[in-house]
Structure 1
């Protein structure tokens, strides 16, 4: 089968959750949350703060390579910061042309750049000049801002700019995250560029993965929300590809997930201020509720709690104890 990539998700899939999700296994690589480039040369510590994996050979503790993603709209500034990042030896450098967040788009970044294929070319070409051939240089895009009128032009522009692979989230910026994902457009993009094209969007199950590959024509798939909601999804996709009988046992999955939740909570408490830790846990549990009734019960039990100690006590009552399961 093709590659499985763990998607970046701003404010959710940080280094802690990357550690937990790649510990389950099955991902060929992960992509970081975007590092915003907005006019200044970032110091090395700024890259390391968001991507501490850079101090571990640009790999998660489980050994999954981490590609570092940059977001910005000024070619010269993007190139200058990419050169700074190159010195830290990332497993890859990726450009973000897919973020639909209003705070990013108001400044002309992320998916808004898809309105101007020529600017995409200028940015990619500028960064290409400072990224050595041994570091994979990639990009991620959506299908457009409001429609698909410039989709193929954007893909061609990025290819001309020197990227070696392209991830396509098969929705426009206006579509946001509303289903469906238009995987057929990935097949159209593959027909006009000579490089690997990775499919992304609406892969929640093993069956979704199979349909995505069939419709898009791509064997390589990036998984985001589906991976967060089901940490064992990539594992099952690989088992299916190996010809194994894949049966979903959510009760057994939850038992396996408990020590991972404990490790996540312990790491989050060590990383962020106490007032922010509960929100991070609730965010992940909010995603897990899609597949686990136990996550729903746990989420409701801590929903109104704001203290680390009281949440830890509730977690222990649900069989999740950081003391038993160190990070």
Structure 2
């Protein structure tokens, strides 16, 4: 089993990737998309979205990161993929799943699922443009308005040379509304001969177990569930390991370390364990993001966390009206 951390534009950026992979349990990450549109991007654009490229393509905790490209022009995507590959990501991922209207209106993301022949052309062009040792993967939804072409799209992506396929088990029209149709991922697995990763509506261990059963996938990609509960990947691993696995010691859990390679059974990450990670998140936000965005980023994460951690509700309410970094930092220091 592999657990992947999903790309989420405007939320799961390099800062939150850093923190969540320090918590542990994640095997691989995919960056949020880098939009490619009729130009060859300079290196600094790739590095701005994926600063892990300056760290051997890995997060601080040592978790490899694949860089994701979004676009619809095979030639332009191939040229950019070649330049990006030279910077050393742990793979090139292609976005055919984003449901955002602004993206789809310009012929990107899930809108391409109505054109399987273009999917094949894009993947094939990128595959030819990067070294043979560089993995090229793709993420898709089940379709645009319905899932009638899901198998055709999956076969096109495999035919173009994708080495792995992540399937978000909803259509573009479904957006993020539950449920996710995990059983349709099983249909895709039945027709392709490459690894398939299941994604969508995995909020807890029970969801993960049902998703694996219904999709037939060993590997999962976690998105909002991991943002809401940073201990989710560890909890899933504990469930998979079974009751006879040896528990991991809690004494070595710090924001500057990771449990990724520790034994398989982990206690629940409670609020007191999580607080140092939140403080480290805030430190990184202040060090690496524009001042005008800093307070909003912390509140954004707390807004997710309060759905799983009751204590996050108090933190969110206490910080909701604060915008000065000094005042926010002072509040966090007192926790």
TM-score (norm 2): 0.92
Aligned counterpart, 1:307: 324
Whether the 8 Å CA contact 1:265–1:281 is kept in 2: the answer is yes
Separation of aligned partners in 2, 1:300 and 1:24: 25
TM-superposed CA distance for 1:244, in Å, is 3.3
Structure 1 equivalent of residue 260 of structure 2: none
| C-alpha distance in structure 2 between counterparts of 1:126 and 1:254, whole Å | 47
Q: Given that residues 5 and 26 in structure 2 are in contact (C-alpha distance below 8 angstroms), is that contact kept between their aligned partners in structure 1?
A: yes
Q: Distance in 2 between matches of 1:249 and 1:288?
A: 18
Structure 2 unaligned runs (5+)? 248-264
How far residue 315 of structure 1 moved from its aligned partner, in angstroms, is: 2.0
- Per-residue CA deviations over 1:186-216 (Å, capped at 9, x if unaligned) read 0000011111010000111111110000000
**1:264 equivalent in alignment to 2:263:** no
The one-character-per-residue Cα deviations of 1:294-324 (angstroms, maximum 9, x if unpaired) are 111111111122211122222233x1xxxxx
Q: How many Å separate the matches in 2 of 1:248 and 1:78?
A: 41
- 2:119 is equivalent to residue 102 of structure 1: no
Residue of structure 2 in register with 1:322 after alignment: none
Matches within 5 A, 1:195-210: 195-210=194-209
- Aligned 1:48-197 pairs, distance under 5 A: 48-197=47-196
CA distances 1:151-202 after superposition (whole Å, capped 9, x unpaired): 1111011011000110000000010100000000000000111110100001
DSSP-derived class of the 2:203 partner: coil
Q: Which residues of structure 1 form unaligned runs of 5+?
A: 320-327
Describe how 1:15-30 pairs up with structure 2 within 5 A.
Answer: 15-30=14-29
Cα distance, 1:106 vs structure 2: 1.1
Determine if the alignment matches structure 1 residue 12 to structure 2 residue 29. Answer: no
RMSD over aligned Cα, in angstroms? Answer: 1.5
Q: Aligned partners of 1:163, 1:257: CA distance in 2, in Å?
A: 37
SS of residue matched to 1:240: helix
Counting only pairs closer than 5 Å after superposition, residues 250-261 of structure 1 correspond to structure 2 as 253-261=270-278
Q: How many residues align?
A: 316
Cα distance between partner residues in 2 of 1:296 and 1:248 = 25
**How far apart, in 1, do the equivalents of 2:59 and 2:134 lie?**
17
Residue 248 of structure 1, CA deviation: 9.8
Deviating beyond 4 angstroms after TM superposition, the runs of 4 or more aligned structure 1 residues are 245-250
The corresponding residue for 1:44 is 43
Deviation of residue 114 (structure 1)?
0.5
Quote the Cα distance in structure 2 between the aligned partners of 1:133 and 1:243.
Answer: 38
Distance 2:31 2:120 in 1: 22
Q: Take 1:190 and 1:136, find their aligned partners in 2: how far apart are those partners?
A: 19
Deviations 1:109-161 (A, max 9, x none): 00000011111111111111112221111000000111011111110110110
* Structure 1 segment 316-327 matched on structure 2, within 5 A: 316-317=333-334, 319=335
C-alpha contact (below 8 Å) 2:234/2:266 kept by paired residues? no
CA distance in 2: counterparts of 1:240 and 1:148, whole angstroms = 31
Give the structure 2 partner of residue 325 of structure 1. Answer: none
Q: Return the offset for 1:231.
A: 0.5
Aligned to 2:235: 236
